[in-house]
Amino acid sequence: MPDIKQAKILIIATDGFEQSELLVPQEKLEDVGAKVEVAAPKSRRKSGKIYGWNKDDWGKTVSVDKDLEDVNVAEYDALVLPGGQINPDKLRLEPKALEIIRSFLDSGKVVAAICHAP
């Protein structure tokens, strides 16, 4: 993996991501200079945002940079998978999300799966 200042990190998520498990890694990675992009299923890309879950109710939204179908694993150095109960369950039903995750693992790239994400 390149120096974190030149790293390009992908976050895959959808509605119901645990707010702190997406926003904190995103912020920390960007603070050290990494380029971070959020990808979501096409249905969420149309609205341009995904909705977080904050403890016991809906929380903040996060802008979506690209549709899962447009992700090219070769363009990224690492993958972050935020948890939450809703988000991972929805993503497990998305064949493209599973394909991307397997591609990261098969290529030996870093995969950070938080809490319920695995």
Question: CB under 8 Å to 99, separation ≥6 — which residues?
Answer: none
116 is catalytic: yes
- Strand 57-63 and strand 49-54: pairing? antiparallel
- CA dihedral (14, 18, 20, 24) in degrees, to 10, reads -30
Residue 71 three-state SS: coil
Instruction: For residue 36, give the H/E element and its range.
Output: strand 35-40
Q: Which of 15, 116, 117, 118 is catalytic?
A: 116
List, by residue number, the catalytic residues: 116
